[in-house]
Amino acid sequence: MTTPGRSRSSGSDAAHEPVLVREVVSWLRPHAGGLYVDGTVGLGGHAAALLGAGAGRVIGLDRDEAALAVAREGLAWAGDRVTLLHADYRNLDEALASQAVTQADGLLVDLGVSSLQLDDAARGFSFRQAGALDMRMDRSSGATLAERLAAVDEATLADVIFRYGEERRSRRVARAILDARDRGDLGDTLALARAVRRGAGAGRWQRIDPATRTFQALRIWVNDELDGFDRFLESAASRLVSGGRLAVIAFQSLEDRVVKHTFRRLAASGPAFALATKRAVRPGDDEVAANPRARSARLRVLEKAA
């Protein structure tokens, strides 16, 4: 049996730790008879914690079929208290309709890339190991990164890198990537990272690898991650029962900015919603020390008026 709150990746001895799990449970307040939706169930860590804390039922959605397979195995102990669906969280209405559900006591979206995705070189999310230029969350549909790069022009790519990666040298980075493409020197993620560093003028003094920003931008681009995100937040909030809460964990400033502004707008529009968290909740030092990937996580919670 998998311990609630932890999930284990197939073929790995390392446990996947969901971020801010205690805070998510505390803010969503799971209770018997309550229905909760985990829109990015991943390997099942948050869902397990909610079920372990007394949630009556959890519906978990994810675009990644490989992650769902792991979650299905790890959450088997919960029986019919959990339902897992291959779906994009932005298709929340359709997913809930398929389960004859109209409202939820709590909803959660964790916008981070899972350990399963990062640690599998074949997925193409990491610039620290050689992998295919894929980056799709849902490998059953959509164009791969390689396919997108094969067709993109320099101005469009530079805009993607600037908007989604906040990379100041976006034009130089885009030119370096497409130069490598045109030379036939863009065969895997390591080659892509080298091109990015050349364009960014990477030096030993830099605090973070410049490939971090560009790989983030390309991942968002491939998966259309910000397309309709604000509309999803509004729709999800409308699905809450009175007193229900919507919790979102963001890992980068673009996503967090959308969450912050959308939540504030909804709270200011009338008495229907209120900010449960006045500012972002961050992981404590102990969590960051145990799981460095948690360091940039930010949790915000919106509550529907009782």
Q: Identify whether 47 is part of a domain.
A: yes
Nearest Cα residue to 305 out of 275, 280, 279: 275
| Both tokens assigned to 83 | 């339902």
Last residue of one domain, picked from the residues 223, 255, 272? 223
Tell me: do 140 and 213 sit in the same domain: yes
Tell me: do 25 and 64 sit in the same domain: yes
- pLDDT, tens only, 221-251: 999 999 999 999 999 999 999 999 999 999 9
Tell me: do 244 and 197 sit in the same domain: no
Name the percent of the chain lying above pLDDT 90: 85
The whole-angstrom separation of Cα 163 and Cα 253 is: 11
Q: Identify whether 239 is part of a domain.
A: yes
Predicted confidence at residue 117, as pLDDT, reads 81
* 239-273: b (≥16 Cβ within 10 Å) or e: bbeeebbbbbbbbbebbbebbbebbeebbeeeeeb
What CATH number corresponds to the domain at position 256? 3.40.50.150
What CATH number corresponds to the domain at position 178? 1.10.150.170
Q: Identify whether 294 is part of a domain.
A: yes
| Both tokens assigned to 297 | 């996580």
Tell me: do 179 and 147 sit in the same domain: yes
Q: Which amino acid, residue 107?
A: L
Tell me: do 264 and 200 sit in the same domain: no
Angstrom distances, CA of residue 52 to CA of 17, 115, 282: 15, 22, 23
Q: Identify whether 277 is part of a domain.
A: yes
Tell me: do 133 and 263 sit in the same domain: no
- pLDDT, tens only, 25-40: 999 999 999 999 999 9
Tell whether the model's pLDDT for residue 115 goes beyond 90. no
Last residue of one domain, picked from the residues 196, 223, 250? 223
Nearest Cα residue to 75 out of 60, 93, 54: 60
Mean pLDDT over each residue of the chain, to the nearest integer = 92
Tell me: do 12 and 103 sit in the same domain: yes
Tell me: do 136 and 285 sit in the same domain: no
- pLDDT, tens only, 278-294: 999 999 999 999 998 89
Tell whether the model's pLDDT for residue 220 goes beyond 90. yes
Q: Identify whether 1 is part of a domain.
A: no
Tell me: do 159 and 181 sit in the same domain: yes
* Domain count of the fold of the chain: 2
Q: Identify whether 296 is part of a domain.
A: yes
104-110 sheet: strands from edge to edge = 82-86, 57-62, 35-38, 104-110, 240-250, 298-304, 273-275
Tell me: do 97 and 154 sit in the same domain: no
Last residue of one domain, picked from the residues 197, 223, 249? 223
Q: Identify whether 116 is part of a domain.
A: no
Tell me: do 144 and 201 sit in the same domain: yes
Enumerate the β-bridge partners of residue 58.
36, 82
DSSP for 224-251, please give it: TTTTTHHHHHHHHHHTEEEEEEEEEEE-
Tell me: do 231 and 219 sit in the same domain: no
pLDDT band, very low/low/confident/very high, at 202 (cuts 50, 70, 90): low
Average pLDDT (5-12) is 39
- pLDDT, tens only, 77-98: 999 999 999 999 999 999 999 9
Predicted confidence at residue 111, as pLDDT, reads 93
Structural domain containing residue 190: 126-223
Lowest mean pLDDT, pick from 141-155, 159-173, 205-219: 205-219
